[in-house]
């Protein structure tokens, strides 16, 4: 079925931008509808694009404008289910922003390796550096302190392993790594890998509420100051959304103790000055903020001891090798720019959605984690007593609502969340949890759908 | 249209079974069972059905069929119900069949229960067997038309209630047809090798695995008089009927080979004897399972022709006749996964089944299942406790 469409179904985000700009195929999985341009872009990849709300109202709205065409289903198996999608997994990945997409497209066929010295190479390099400066301006740091990586995990690995090794090289007594037990596996497992090189890992103490205990951790850092190679704490927990005292601990480590501090800031972008990027290395990921998959950054303050952990031509300040992916970093930079520009308005909007989300969740008896703690609006973790989180995922999925158990997956097997376990919850409680995460495309339509589906779904899951 | 869970192992059979269910217009959801907390990969020597690669193959089948796909974690139940039981049985000198146990406790119990609780009607698998229903809605489990691949033996432990939630679309096909159909459908698993090994045993080395888990418990190999003939390093690495690998050094007085007759776990002895002593003519076991309703009611009666195309459960049909309190009937009995069907007479009551073989059988171990057939129909099964 095709019908002419166009316009601004997601008015909050795309007002005034012609629909033909929305040529992202990364978006398809987020929505039930797909748009394609009429005529000019024959390849399938080009026509799989959407930036249209999944609601019927939006479909109708699209039908009245007229720039492209709209398809419900066709050749791709995943489209067989003609389902409207309501996506609550933005913390896993969020759709690409318009500006990011345009930047990607502009550079996707750009000639030249940015390391080459000829004209094409210089132009490519110029795009890379332009992107670096864009990000540096948004974050108010010098461009030279940013290196491009493949994403959050690589940035975390470099910020932990690269720093710990370099620090011990200078100071052989520095053989300890301190991390919080609620870190992402990109940090936890990087730290654990260092034990095979003779490092030991110290865990940060948590408060009873399940947040990193600032005074106790600061004291522990002081006790071990001479032997610490690196300390790591995330800015915002990716499962619970709880804001951790990373900024204050980084200050202690940097200013008072002279110990390197690494911050996984992957979930913290767009949240204002939650973190001073002068006092720690900080990991960022493009696709969590509306940039492309496969790009990330590590911010490295000038005085940080750090060495490469993978080897090659050393394109990125001799710390990271591999040809810099020009379209990805250009696109990442645009996502950073757009996120930063819209930050204050968008955060307010998300906070409003979060308040409603909480009331929907509590109305079905769910228990929200960290309700009295400072959290980002975009992430809520809820326990559904008597239910299995995995069952809830399956039941909601069948109704077009995408949530996650919020935990790390091995071969797609959801494990009980190590974050919840570390926060003192039982295995059963941890298995009953769901993470709801929202982002720039989330609207009240999505919450309407959730509100309609949740009571029945919880009742089925509870009966089991 | 029914709502079905397709259990996708990552192999060719379950892939084609799921594809056929989709073709029939059912609402199918693919599920891969994660049976190990630390799944192996081909790099670590897995050759079973539970490696990371298998999970990925299963996912790709679901993608190809355009059905939702999930990995469901049954590793805890699998560890308790299958692996632990496997080790306990060996420790007691018995010979368990873990695949049968997995069908009984995991695939057609835990998986089925979860599927039904979540609103599904039945589970589709790629087993080589058929479930059919007669006009009165009575169920029958039948052998596959592919005698070499027939898996009715390992399904004989299922109750009729469990079987009513099963759909086996491959019962009327032979393996080569299944592979051809997979290739025709463009499924990459079309020529994936069959797995024969026990999935949780690395490299397929059962003895090594048992030593690793149960340790080494050296003891004597004796004849029936108690004369010590050799040493073993754990009764559990021997099976009844085994001849090779005993390293007995000296031959029997009559010069004929000796076989493992019995495993005496309590005294840590392996007892050997001549082949003639392995002969059994009777066996018994407790808690029989009657897969296809009351055992002797329909024995020998004309049965409707099997429609081995994955018939759907007849939930609204009346179902089985009540099971008679006791009885006796003639049947055939299969004592191993790929053994012959032996003519026998079966006496049963609510608790116990005694099977008298018309001709002797050799080397039958307690712990194995005796599955009772009426021609191609599985009547029921019992786990062997005692032989004579």
What residues pair up with B270 in beta bridges, in sequence order? B221, B263
**B196 and B121 both lie in a single domain:** yes
- Whichever domain contains B344, its CATH number is 2.40.30.10
Name all contacts of A365-368 with Cβ < 8 Å and 24+ positions apart: A365/A458, A366/A458
Strand, helix or coil for residue A290: coil
Same domain, B66 and B109: yes
- For A74, the closest chain B residue by CA position comes to B66
Measured CA to CA, the distance from residue B346 to residue B327 in angstroms comes to 8
User: For residue B210, is it within any domain?
Assistant: no
Q: Quote the minimal CA–CA distance from A402 to chain B in Å.
A: 12
Rounded CA-CA distance A147/A297 in Å is 6
User: Boundaries of CATH 3.90.1150.10 in chain A?
Assistant: 343-463
Query: How confident is the model over B141-161, as pLDDT tens digits?
Result: 999 999 999 999 999 999 988
Cα-based angle B117, B123, B129 (whole degrees, multiple of 5): 150
What is the distance, to the nearest Å, from the Cα of residue A412 to the centroid of all Cα atoms in its chain?
19
- Residue-wise pLDDT tens digits, A223-250: 999 999 999 999 999 999 999 999 999 9
CB distance A463–B68 less than 8 Å?
no
Name the helix (H) or strand (E) containing A297: strand A296-299
Kindly report the CATH number that applies to the domain delimited by A103-337: 3.40.640.10
| CB-CB under 8 Å, B32 with A398 | no
pLDDT given at position B185: 95
Q: Where are the beta strands (DSSP E) in A210-279?
A: 228-232, 261-264
Instruction: Give me the percent of chain A exceeding a pLDDT of 90.
Output: 74
Task: Burial-class residue B148 by CB neighbours within 10 Å (0-12, 13-18, 19+).
Answer: exposed
A464 and B66: CB-CB below 8 Å?
no
- State the Cα–Cα distance between residues A231 and A237, nearest whole angstrom: 16
Say whether both B376 and B232 belong to one domain: no
For range A281-300, the mean pLDDT: 97
Q: Which CATH number fits domain A343-463: 3.40.50.1860, 3.90.1150.10, 3.40.50.1100, 1.10.3720.10?
A: 3.90.1150.10
Give residue B237's pLDDT. 86
Backbone angles phi, psi at B369, to 5 degrees: -95, 140
Compute the Cα dihedral for A135, A140, A143, A149 and give only its sign: negative
In 3-state terms chain A splits into helix, strand, coil percentages (rounded to 5) of 40, 15, 40
Q: Which residue, A345, A322, A455, A349, is CA-closest to A392?
A: A455
Q: How many domains does chain B have?
A: 3
Shortest Cα distance, chain B CAs vs residue A411, angstroms: 6
Examine the pLDDT at B9 and tell me if it is beyond 80.
yes
Is A460 in Cβ contact with B118 (below 8 Å)?
A: yes
β-pairing, B326-334 vs B341-349, is antiparallel
Q: How far is CA B281 from the centre of its chain?
A: 23
Give B86's pLDDT tier (boundaries 50, 70, 90). Answer: very high
B252 and B361 together in one domain: no
Q: Does one domain contain both B351 and B241?
A: no
To which residue do tokens 């990087």 refer?
A190
Q: What is the CATH number of the domain that holds B88?
A: 3.40.50.620
What is the average pLDDT across A291-302? 96
Residues 6+ apart with CB under 8 A from B177: none
The ipTM assigned to this model is: 0.78
- N- to C-terminal Cα distance for chain B? 51
CA distance to partner chain A, nearest, from residue B183 (Å): 18
Q: Are residues B286 and B273 in the same domain?
A: no
Q: What is the DSSP string of A372-441?
A: TS-B-TTEEEEE-TTS-HHHHHHHHHTTTEE-B--S-EETTEEPPPHHHHHTT--HHHHHTEEEEE--TT
**Nearest-CB residue to B66 (from A78, A460, A461):** A78
| Residues A66-124: tens digit of each pLDDT | 233 334 333 343 433 446 799 999 999 999 999 999 999 999 999 999 999 999 999 99
In our burial notation (b when 16+ CB lie closer than 10 A, e otherwise), range A157-169 reads bbbbbbbbbbbbe
Q: What is the pLDDT of residue B313?
A: 62
| Helix H or strand E encompassing A43 | none
Whole-angstrom Cα distance, residue A258 to residue A358?
41
Quick one: DSSP state of residue A151? S
- B363 and B290, same structural domain? yes
Q: Where in chain A is the domain with CATH 3.40.640.10?
A: 103-337
Range of the domain at B274: 215-278
Q: Of the residues B178, B204, B230, which one is the last residue of a structural domain?
A: B204
The pLDDT, as a whole number, for residue B304 is 59
Is B68 within 8 Å of A460 when comparing Cβ atoms? no
Q: Which of A78, A79, A394 is the closest to B70 by Cβ?
A: A394
Task: Give a yes or no: residue B302 inside a domain.
Answer: no
**Range in A190-204, B102-116, B202-216 the model is least confident about:** B202-216
CB A74 within 8 A of CB A32: no
What's the mean pLDDT in A427-456? 96
Co-location of B64 and B40 in the same domain = yes
Q: Is residue B121 part of a domain?
A: yes
Decide: residue B226, CB within 10 A, 0-12 exposed, 13-18 middle, 19+ buried. exposed
Q: In whole angstroms, what separates CA A149 from the centre of its chain?
A: 15
- Is the pLDDT at A42 greater than 50? The verdict is no
Whether the predicted pLDDT of B207 surpasses 90: no
- Which chain A residues contact residue B39 at CB under 8 A? 410-411, 413
C-alpha–C-alpha distance, residues B84 and B86, integer Å:
5
Structure tokens at A104: 């990607």
This prediction has a pTM of 0.81
HSE (side-chain half, CA atoms, 13 Å) at B191:
2
**Residues of B identified as active-site:** 102, 199
The whole-chain average pLDDT of chain B stands at: 87
Whole-angstrom distance, CA of residue B60 vs CA of residue B32: 11
Task: Band the pLDDT of B199: cuts 50, 70, 90.
Answer: confident
Tokens of A447: 């919450």
CA closest to A431 among chain B residues? B73
265-324 in chain A: CB under 8 A from chain B: none
Q: How many CB atoms are located within 10 Å of the residue B224 CB?
A: 12
* Residue B318 and residue B136 in contact, taking contact as beta carbons nearer than 8 Å: yes
Query: What pLDDT does residue A6 have?
Result: 38
- Enter the tokens of residue A329: 């970093």
Residue of A nearest to B70 (CA): A412
Highest mean pLDDT among A411-420, B123-132, B320-329: B123-132
Q: Are residues B66 and A77, on separate chains, in Cβ contact within 8 Å?
A: yes
B79 within a domain of the structure (yes/no): yes
Count of C-beta atoms within a 10 Å radius of residue A198: 8
Residue B315 falls inside a structural domain: no
Q: What is the pLDDT of residue B201?
A: 84
Residue B136 within any structural domain of the chain: no
- CB A292, CB A26: distance < 8 Å: yes
A78 and chain B: CB distance < 8 Å anywhere?
Answer: yes
Please list the residues that pair with B355 across neighbouring strands.
B283, B346
Quick one: B273 and B380 in the same domain? no
Evaluate whether B6 touches B58 at the Cβ level (below 8 Å).
no
For B3, phi then psi, to 5°, come to -95, 115
Considering the domain boundaries, does residue B183 fall inside one?
Answer: yes
Q: Helix, strand, or coil here: B66?
A: coil
Task: Single out the residue of A252, A246, A337 nearest to residue A289, CA to CA.
Answer: A337
The answer, yes or no, to whether residue B373 has pLDDT greater than 50, is yes
Same domain, B115 and B244: no
Q: Return all residues near A168 (Cβ < 8 A) that are at least 6 apart.
A: A174, A175, A199, A229
Look at residue B72 and tell me if it is in a domain.
yes
How far is C-alpha A164 from the geometric centre of its chain's CA atoms?
Answer: 25
Q: Dmax over Cα atoms in chain A, in whole Å?
A: 70
Chain B residues in contact with A464 by the CB 8 A cut-off are 114, 117-118
Q: What is the pLDDT of residue B200?
A: 85
Distance CA B99, CA B368 (A): 12
Q: What stretch of H or E contains A452?
A: helix A444-463
Mean pLDDT over A385-397 rounds to 94
The residues that bridge with B132 in the sheet, in sequence order, are: B140
Angle between helices B12-23 and B52-65 (to 10 degrees): 20
Same domain (yes/no): B291, B264: no
CATH of the domain at B258: 2.30.30.280
Distance (Å, whole) CA A378 – CA A319: 33
Please indicate if any CB of chain B lies within 8 Å of the CB of A464: yes
């Amino acid at each position: 079925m095709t019908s002419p469409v166009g316009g601004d179904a997601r008015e909050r985000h795309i007002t005034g931008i012609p629909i033909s700009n929305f040529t992202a195929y990364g978006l398809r999985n987020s929505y039930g509808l797909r748009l394609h341009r009429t005529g000019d872009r024959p390849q399938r990849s080009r026509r799989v694009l959407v930036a249209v709300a999944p609601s019927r109202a939006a479909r109708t709205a699209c039908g009245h404008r007229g720039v492209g065409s709209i398809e419900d289903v066709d050749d791709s198996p995943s489209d067989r289910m003609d389902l409207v999608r309501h996506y609550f997994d933005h913390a896993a990945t969020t759709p690409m922003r318009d500006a990011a997409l345009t930047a990607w497209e502009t550079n996707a066929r750009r000639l030249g390796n940015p390391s080459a010295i000829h004209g094409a190479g210089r132009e490519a390099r110029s795009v890379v550096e332009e992107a670096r400066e864009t990000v540096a301006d948004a974050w108010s740091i010098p461009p030279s302190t940013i290196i491009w990586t493949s994403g959050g995990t690589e940035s975390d690995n470099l910020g932990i392993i690269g720093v710990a090794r370099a620090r011990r090289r200078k100071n052989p007594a520095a053989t300890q790594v301190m991390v919080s037990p609620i870190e992402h596996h990109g940090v936890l497992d990087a730290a654990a890998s260092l034990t095979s090189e003779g490092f030991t890992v110290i865990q940060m103490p948590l408060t009873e509420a399940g947040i990193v205990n600032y005074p106790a951790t600061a004291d522990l850092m002081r006790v071990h100051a001479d032997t610490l190679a690196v300390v790591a704490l995330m800015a915002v927990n990716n499962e619970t959304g709880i804001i951790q005292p990373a900024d204050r601990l980084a200050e202690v480590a940097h200013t008072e103790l002279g110990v390197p501090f690494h911050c996984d800031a992957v979930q913290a972008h767009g949240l204002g000055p939650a973190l001073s990027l002068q006092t720690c290395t900080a990991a960022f990921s493009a696709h969590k903020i509306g940039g492309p998959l496969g790009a990330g950054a590590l911010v490295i303050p000038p005085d940080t001891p750090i060495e490469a952990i993978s080897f090659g031509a050393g394109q990125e300040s001799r710390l990271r090798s591999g040809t810099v992916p020009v379209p990805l970093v250009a696109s990442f930079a645009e996502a950073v720019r757009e996120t930063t520009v819209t930050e204050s308005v968008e955060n307010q909007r998300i906070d409003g959605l979060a308040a409603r989300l909480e009331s929907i969740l509590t109305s079905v008896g769910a228990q929200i984690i960290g309700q009295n703690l400072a959290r980002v609006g975009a992430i809520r973790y809820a326990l559904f007593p008597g239910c299995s989180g995995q069952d809830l995922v399956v039941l909601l999925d069948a109704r077009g609502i995408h949530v996650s158990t919020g935990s790390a997956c091995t071969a797609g097997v959801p494990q009980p969340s190590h974050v919840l376990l570390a926060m003192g919850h039982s295995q059963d409680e941890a298995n009953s949890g769901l993470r709801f995460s929202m982002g720039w495309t989330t609207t009240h339509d999505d919450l309407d759908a959730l509100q309609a589906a949740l009571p029945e779904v919880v009742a089925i899951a509870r009966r089991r | 249209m029914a709502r079905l869970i397709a259990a996708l192992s990552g192999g060719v059979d379950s892939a084609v079974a799921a594809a056929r269910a989709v073709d029939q217009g059912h609402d199918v959801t693919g599920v891969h069972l994660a049976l190990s907390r630390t799944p192996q990969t081909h790099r670590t020597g897995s050759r079973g059905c539970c490696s990371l690669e298998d999970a990925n193959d299963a996912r790709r089948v679901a993608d190809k069929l355009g059905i939702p796909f999930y990995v469901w974690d049954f590793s805890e139940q699998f560890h308790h119900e299958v692996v632990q039981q496997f080790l306990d049985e060996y420790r007691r000198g018995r010979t368990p069949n873990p695949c049968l146990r997995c069908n009984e406790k995991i695939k057609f119990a835990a998986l089925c229960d979860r599927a039904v609780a979540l609103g599904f009607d039945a589970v589709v698998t790629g087993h080589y067997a058929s479930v059919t229903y007669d006009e009165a809605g009575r169920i029958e489990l039948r052998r596959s038309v592919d005698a070499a691949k027939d898996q009715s033996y390992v399904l004989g432990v299922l109750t009729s209630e469990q079987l009513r939630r099963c759909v086996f679309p491959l019962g009327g096909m032979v393996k080569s047809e299944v592979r051809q159909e997979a290739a025709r459908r463009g499924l990459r698993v079309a020529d994936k090798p069959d797995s024969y090994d026990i999935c949780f045993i690395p490299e397929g080395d059962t003895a090594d695995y048992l030593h690793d888990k149960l340790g080494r418990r050296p003891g004597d190999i004796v004849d029936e008089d108690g004369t010590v003939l050799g040493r073993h390093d754990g009764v559990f690495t021997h099976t009844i009927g085994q001849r090779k690998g005993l390293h007995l050094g000296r031959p029997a007085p009559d010069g004929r080979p000796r076989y493992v007759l019995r495993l005496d776990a309590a005294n840590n002895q392996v007892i050997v004897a001549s082949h003639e002593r392995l002969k059994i003519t009777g066996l018994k076991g407790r808690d029989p399972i009657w897969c296809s309703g009351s055992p002797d009611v329909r024995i020998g009666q004309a049965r409707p022709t099997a429609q081995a195309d994955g018939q759907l459960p007849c939930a609204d049909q009346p179902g089985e006749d009540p099971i008679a309190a006791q009885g006796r009937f003639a049947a055939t009995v299969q004592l191993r996964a790929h053994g012959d069907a032996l003519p026998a007479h079966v006496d049963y009551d609510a608790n116990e089944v005694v099977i008298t073989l018309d001709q002797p059988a050799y080397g039958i171990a307690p712990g194995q299942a005796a599955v009772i057939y009426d021609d191609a129909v599985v009547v029921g099964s019992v786990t062997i406790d005692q032989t004579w």
